[in-house]
Structure 1
Amino acid sequence: MSLLTPELLGNIGRKSEPRRELVTRRDIRKYAVATGSRQDKYLQGDQAPPMFHVPLFWDVVELDQLSPDGVSIDTLLPKFPLEKAMAGGLKIEYHKPIYPGDWLTATRTLSAIYEKQGRSGPLIFYEVIMDVVDDDGALVIREKTTRILR
């Protein structure tokens, strides 16, 4: 018997509201120092290092808005019958460099929900694709995150 109901599967294709953020030289420099990105172009804030977009689009929330695992509650996702989350993978495609002064817009889409049987019982997988575009609508980054629920 599947844990995935037609109602739950009906959430596939659901999109977040677009989120627009400004890239600043200071934020690039802070990220470069925090992550040990030692190339001059990063330390001077002339270009964003890889993974810079991840915290740029993270929600800033109060502590009481975090799940027991310490993760912000994702309003894009439906209520799943399994709740213990594990990382299942991250694939990032970089299409254009990110520079200070860029305005970037991210939109997230719940692209897949599927079930597999694990050694200790059923597992639910879901995938979220985040497209980051510039103000010209050109794709800058495509990120696919896979999570596993048990």
Structure 2
Amino acid sequence: MSLLSPELLQNIGRQSEPRRELVTRRDIRKYAVATGNRQRKYLDGDQAPPMFHVPLFWDVVELDELSPDGVSIDTLLPKFPLEKAMAGGLEIEYHKPIHPGDWLTATRTLTDIYEKSGRSGPLIFYEVVMDVVDDAEQLVIREKTTRILR
């Protein structure tokens, strides 16, 4: 018997509200220092290092809005019958460099939900794709995250 009901699967294709953020030289420099990216273009804040977009679009939430394991509750996702989450993969495609002054808009889409059997029982996989575009609607980054629930 499947854990994935038709109602749960109807969430495939669900999108978040677009989120728009301004890239600043200061934020690029702070991220470069914090992550050890020592190339001059990053330390001077002229170009954002890889992965800069991740915290740019993270929600800042109150402690009571975190799950018991300290993760922000993702309102894009439906309530799944399994709750212990594990990383299943991350694929990032970089299409354009990010520079200070860029306004970036991210939209996340729940693109797939599927089930597999593991050694310890059933597993649910879900995939979320985040597209980051600039004000000219050109794709800057596409990120696909896969999570596994057990």
**Amino acid aligned to 1:100:** P
**Distance in 1 between the 2:108 and 2:31 partners?**
23
**Is 1:59 paired with 2:59?**
yes
Structure 1 stretches (4+) deviating beyond 3 angstroms? none
Equivalent residue number for residue 131 of structure 2: 131
Q: Percent identity?
A: 89
Asked if 1:92 corresponds to 2:88, the answer is no
**Residues 3-42 of structure 1: pairs in structure 2 closer than 5 A:** 3-42=3-42
The residue number in structure 1 matching 2:102 is 102
Using the alignment, how far apart are the partners of 2:62 and 2:85 within structure 1? Answer: 20
Using the size of structure 2 for normalisation, the TM-score is 1.00
**Offset of residue 89 of structure 1:** 0.4
Q: Is structure 2 residue 63 aligned with structure 1 residue 75?
A: no
**CA distance in 1 between partners of 2:120 and 2:134 (Å):** 44
Hey, what does 1:121 align to over in structure 2?
121
Aligned length in residues: 150
Alpha-carbon deviations, 1:6-64, whole Å to 9, x = none? 00000000000000000000000000000000000000000000000000000000011
Distance 1:78 1:32 in 2: 35
| Separation of aligned partners in 1, 2:69 and 2:22 | 29
Counterpart code for 1:149: L
Alpha carbon RMSD of aligned pairs, Å? 0.2
CA distance, structure 2, for counterparts of residue 85 and residue 64 of structure 1: 19
Aligned residue for 2:43?
43
* Partner Cα separation in structure 2 for residue 103 and residue 70 of structure 1: 29
Q: What is the Cα deviation at residue 69 of structure 1?
A: 1.1
Aligned amino acid, residue 9 of structure 1: L
Which SS does the other structure have where 1:51 is aligned? Answer: coil
